């Protein structure tokens, strides 16, 4: 089936969907985005994603291009036109089209793009083996809480991971503390079973998956610390994992080529993955898709 994209008021064949060369997203990475998981036709944690979108726009002083209800309507149209049931929705809003000039244009209208993509299911092998991460210096700006389309350091680090045979790169500050992955949040479980993930301030993106999982953790009675951890602590950890809208909860079994714990996905990690999958199932309103959800990502 041909793919359809939404671009500034029009639904276009994916191959013909284009923005103007003077779009400030293209010129200056002057824009923000969201990736929303879709499970059985339902946008998971949609309100939280839209809250974060509005917050990112506000921090950059880009106007909401339309009311939230209108964004929701378009997202449903894009999903319907692409017959998407499992995958994710991509939304991007930039400051708009204007002659190239660093300062804000006075008249530009925010530009809106929406696309969807099917999600390839994670193979059972991937879940059984877990994934590897490498650690790299975090060379990004100081406002990582804004979900900006300015992702060059993330792309460089992800490519470095790929070339090292790893799936993700954890970015590390000069003092050795891990901030997050290039497109995921980072978690560890210490040898004495304390779950640790970085507190969400301007240093990291506050993942929606992270937030949803924190709610589940409170319910499950897991011992938990919201603080930064070092690479050294991560190497000595019993378990590690990453979270994101496209990976859900994914076990990390090697860091910089060395096994984490016994080198297999951790027990708590897999329990939390199940908890997140139940959350998604709850959003989709039933248990009949549980098997697909377990392997999705």
Selected from 4, 86, 243, 269, the binder of ligand PDD by CB under 6 A is 243
Catalytic site includes residue 294: no
User: Whose CB is nearest to ligand PDD?
Assistant: 207
Cβ of residue 167: shortest distance to ligand PDD, in angstroms?
A: 13
Q: Tell whether residue 184 is a contact of ligand PDD (CB under 6 A).
A: yes
Selected from 86, 245, 253, 269, the binder of ligand PDD by CB under 6 A is 245
Query: Which of 247, 145, 121, 99 has the alpha carbon at shortest distance from 187?
Result: 247
Q: Tell whether residue 138 is a contact of ligand PDD (CB under 6 A).
A: no
Surface-to-core class of residue 15, CB atoms within 10 Å of its CB (0-12 exposed, 13-18 middle, 19+ buried):
exposed
Catalytic residue among 72, 129, 147, 238: 147
Q: Tell whether residue 197 is a contact of ligand PDD (CB under 6 A).
A: no
Query: Which of 87, 42, 35, 45 has the alpha carbon at shortest distance from 284?
Result: 42
For 38, 67, 285, 291, 293, the CA distances from 86, given in Å and listed in that order, are 5, 26, 14, 13, 9
Selected from 205, 255, 260, 277, the binder of ligand PDD by CB under 6 A is 205
Cβ of residue 118: shortest distance to ligand PDD, in angstroms?
A: 15
- Calculate Rg over the CA atoms of the chain: 19
Q: Tell whether residue 148 is a contact of ligand PDD (CB under 6 A).
A: no
Q: Tell whether residue 172 is a contact of ligand PDD (CB under 6 A).
A: no
- Note whether 61 and 104 are within 8 A (CB): yes
Residue 51 has phi, psi (to 5 degrees) of -60, -45
Site for ligand PDD in 11-40 (CB under 6 A): 35
Whole-angstrom distance, CA of residue 23 vs CA of residue 93 = 10
Return the number of the residue (132 or 245) whose C-beta is nearest ligand PDD: 245
Interface with ligand PDD (CB under 6 A): 35, 180, 183-185, 205, 207-210, 243-246
């Amino acid at each position: 089936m041909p793919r359809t994209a939404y671009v500034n008021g029009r639904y276009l064949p994916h191959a013909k969907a284009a923005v103007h060369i003077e779009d400030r997203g293209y010129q200056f990475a002057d824009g923000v985005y969201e990736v929303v998981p879709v499970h059985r036709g339902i946008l998971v944690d949609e309100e939280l994603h839209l809250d974060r979108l509005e917050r990112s726009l506000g921090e950059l002083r880009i106007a909401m291009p339309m009311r939230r209800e209108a964004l929701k309507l378009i997202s449903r149209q894009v999903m319907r036109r692409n017959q998407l049931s499992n995958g994710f929705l991509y939304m991007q809003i930039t400051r708009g089209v204007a002659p190239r000039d660093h300062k804000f244009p006075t008249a530009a209208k925010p530009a809106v793009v929406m696309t969807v993509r099917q999600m390839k299911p994670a193979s059972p092998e991937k879940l059984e083996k877990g994934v590897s991460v490498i650690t790299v210096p975090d060379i990004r700006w100081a406002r990582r809480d804004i979900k900006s389309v300015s992702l060059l350091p993330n792309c460089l680090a992800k490519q470095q991971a790929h070339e090292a045979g790893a799936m993700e790169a954890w970015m590390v500050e000069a003092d050795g503390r891990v901030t997050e992955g290039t497109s995921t949040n980072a978690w560890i479980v210490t040898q004495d079973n304390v779950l640790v993930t970085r507190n969400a301030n301007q240093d990291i993106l506050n993942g929606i998956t992270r937030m949803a999982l924190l709610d589940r953790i409170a319910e499950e009675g897991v011992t938990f610390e919201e603080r930064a951890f070092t690479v050294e602590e991560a190497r000595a950890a019993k378990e590690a994992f990453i979270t994101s809208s496209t990976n859900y909860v994914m076990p990390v079994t090697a860091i910089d080529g060395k096994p984490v714990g016994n080198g297999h996905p951790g027990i708590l990690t897999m329990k939390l993955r199940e908890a997140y999958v139940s959350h998604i199932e709850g959003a989709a309103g039933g248990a009949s898709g549980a098997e697909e959800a377990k392997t999705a990502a």
